[in-house]
Structure formats: C-alpha cells, structure tokens
C-alpha cells in the first residue's frame, strides 16, 4: 500500500519539475525517492549528507535567496535535533521553508525511542508563525504538501506517518471538517486518528471534527461545533497528549468548558513491537479511546 512518504517522493519530484523556486534538501534519509529528480535538477536536489544542523541552515539560506525549500528527514532529526536552527535560521531570520517529516510518534516501533518523535508538534508550538499539517491519508498528504509549497515564504510543517485512515477526505489546508454531529460533546480527531475515533465513538451522541491543519487552530470550527454539542471537548492527537489543549482552551476562553487531551503519553515506553501495540499502550486504540471519551462525555451529561 502506498504510504504518505511514497506519495511525498512522487509529488515533491513533480514540484521540482513544475516550480523553479522549489528545492528539496535532504540529509541522506529519503534520497532514494529522488534519484531521477536529482538527475533532472542537480542544483535543486540537495543532499548535505548526515548533517541535520546544516540541513536546516542550508534550507534557510536557500530561502534567503528567494527559493522555496522542502526539507525532509525523520521528525526526530528534523525538528528536535536542529531545533535552534529551526528557531533562528527560519524564525529569527524571518524566512520560511516546508519541513516534511517521516517517522511520526512511533512508525518504527522496533527502532525504539531514538526514532520516535511524539513531541515534535509541541516543540514547534513554542515558536511563532508555524503552520502544521497532519494528514491522515496519502491523498491528503499530497493536497497539504501542495498547499504548503504554495504558501509564499511561510514556515510550514507537514507530518507524515504510516498511521492512516482508510479513505481520504477533502481537506483544504485550513479548516476542520465536520464528520458526525451529536449533542453531548465534541471530539476532535487529528489526522490518522479519525477512523479509530469514529469506531470508538460509535453510538455516542458526539460531534466529530476532523483536523488535519492544527496550526493555526480552527477556532471558529470548534466554537461552532460547541453551539449544538456543548463545551465538553476531547482532542485525540497522534502525538504528545495535550499538545492542542492550549489552543482549544483559548478558543473557548469566554465560556465554561472542559477539555480532555488524549494522545501519546510522556513516559518512555521502552517497548519495541508494532504500531498497533504502541497505539494500544497509549490508549489510542478504539477500546482505549471509547473508555476515556465515554467516561468524559458521560460525566458531562450527568452534570449538565
């Protein structure tokens, strides 16, 4: 089955053909997807070797000359390792890039903690002006990547994962989509968590919003959803639990509300195994979500 990352290689190669402003910057990881593109565009397919600080610094330098760099490696090496480069070379220099990560929170569980990055979005959240896309399907990854590249000199993060939903939805790079409507709470399912959330909330009277662009956070959509469904809000994110809690509470700052942030736990699991085993361990499988969401909105209904 085609992964988001497979699609990224295809689409980014095509973008190199289509747009002379685009450059792809790599640090070895992912280079096999660009063998043909490298032949066609030797000046715009740049592999700096295993040098992640240089990876981000080079992208920023490209941007300073007017290029639109797409930067790709595993999330742990793209956001966490060169974080000061992300903060200063892109933020402080007031220039932009499209960072496209792979690996996500635990796409390679057998690889262990060194290749896991559940904290990437929370870390970017300490910085100003980042757009964050979390697609849930390869088609959505393509759409959001194209939005990201077309976004002038904006700073954009596209988080690719092996976790995915069965079917794509028509995402637009900005708004949350309403997937189901109810009256006893709002569940925001982020990217690849949607299918599991729909299974977990089967029979519960909740609104389900689908979010693939998390920053900026679609405050209007959340507020609108709470008008019919009330202000009990559950966020289900495929990365660090609570990452978007601040955004949700800011959206509802002027009304009484409750927010439950579900996601990957902080404690290092120190387990290998499979993606599904890790989802279950963090309570992000359907039974785990149903138990916690049900208890939360159930309690809300009693007190209402």
List residues near other proteins by CB under 8 A.
20, 23, 43-44, 46, 48-49, 51, 53-54, 56-67, 69, 84-85, 88-89, 92-94
User: Closer CB to other proteins, residue 68 or residue 215?
Assistant: 68
The rounded distance, in Å, linking the Cα atoms of 2 and 263 is: 25
Half-sphere exposure of 219 (CA within 13 A, CB side): 9
Q: How far is CA 286 from the centre of its chain?
A: 20
**In terms of Cα–Cα distance, which of 7, 216, 192, 8 is closest to 100?**
8
User: Closer CB to other proteins, residue 44 or residue 147?
Assistant: 44
The CA-to-CA distance between both ends of the chain, in Å, stands at 46
Q: Cβ 159 to other proteins, closest distance in Å?
A: 23
User: Closer CB to other proteins, residue 93 or residue 274?
Assistant: 93
The rounded distance, in Å, linking the Cα atoms of 224 and 238 is: 24
Q: Cβ 18 to other proteins, closest distance in Å?
A: 15
Residue pointed to by tokens 């699609």: 7
Q: Cβ 263 to other proteins, closest distance in Å?
A: 31
Q: Cβ 129 to other proteins, closest distance in Å?
A: 13
Q: Cβ 26 to other proteins, closest distance in Å?
A: 12
Cβ atoms of 86 and 127 within 8 Å: the answer is yes
User: Closer CB to other proteins, residue 83 or residue 108?
Assistant: 83
User: Closer CB to other proteins, residue 58 or residue 212?
Assistant: 58
CA torsion 130-108-261-233 (nearest 10°) is 80
CA torsion 13-19-25-30 (nearest 10°) is -10
The rounded distance, in Å, linking the Cα atoms of 189 and 225 is: 13
**In terms of Cα–Cα distance, which of 102, 180, 166, 97 is closest to 134?**
102
Q: Cβ 51 to other proteins, closest distance in Å?
A: 4
Q: Where are the alpha helices (H) located in the chain, listed in sequence order?
A: 4-18, 35-40, 52-64, 75, 83-85, 120-124, 138-150, 194-200, 219-229, 245-251, 275-281, 286-303
User: Closer CB to other proteins, residue 94 or residue 202?
Assistant: 94
User: Closer CB to other proteins, residue 28 or residue 205?
Assistant: 28
Q: Cβ 27 to other proteins, closest distance in Å?
A: 9
Question: Cα angle vertex 158, ends 87, 121, to 5°?
Answer: 55
Q: Cβ 69 to other proteins, closest distance in Å?
A: 8
User: Closer CB to other proteins, residue 50 or residue 299?
Assistant: 50
């Amino acid at each position: 089955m085609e992964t988001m990352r497979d699609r990224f290689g295809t689409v980014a190669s095509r973008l190199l053909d289509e747009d002379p402003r685009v450059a792809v910057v790599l640090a070895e990881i992912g280079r096999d997807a660009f063998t043909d593109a490298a032949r066609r565009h030797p000046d715009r397919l740049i592999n700096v070797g295993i040098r992640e600080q240089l990876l981000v610094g080079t992208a920023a330098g490209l941007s300073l000359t007017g290029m639109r760099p797409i930067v790709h490696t595993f999330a742990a090496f793209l956001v966490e390792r060169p974080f000061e480069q992300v903060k200063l070379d892109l933020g402080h220099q007031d220039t932009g890039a499209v960072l496209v990560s792979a690996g996500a929170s635990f796409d390679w569980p057998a690889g262990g903690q060194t290749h896991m990055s559940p904290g990437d979005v929370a870390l970017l959240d300490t910085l100003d002006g980042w757009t964050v896309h979390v697609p849930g399907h390869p088609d959505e990854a393509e759409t959001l990547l194209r939005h990201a590249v077309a976004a002038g000199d904006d700073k954009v993060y596209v988080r690719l994962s092996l976790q995915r939903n069965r079917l794509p939805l028509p995402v637009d790079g900005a708004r949350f989509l309403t997937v189901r409507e109810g009256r006893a709470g709002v569940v925001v399912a982020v990217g690849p968590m949607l299918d599991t959330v729909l299974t977990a909330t089967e029979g519960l009277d909740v609104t389900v919003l689908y979010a693939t662009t998390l920053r900026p956070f679609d405050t209007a959509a959340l507020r609108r959803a709470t008008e019919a469904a009330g202000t009990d809000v559950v966020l289900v994110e495929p990365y660090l639990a609570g990452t978007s809690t601040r955004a949700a509470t800011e959206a509802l700052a002027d009304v009484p509300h409750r927010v439950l942030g579900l996601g990957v736990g902080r404690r290092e699991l120190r387990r290998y195994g499979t993606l599904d085993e890790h989802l279950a361990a963090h309570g992000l499988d359907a039974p785990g979500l149903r138990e916690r969401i049900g208890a939360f909105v159930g309690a809300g209904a009693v007190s209402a």
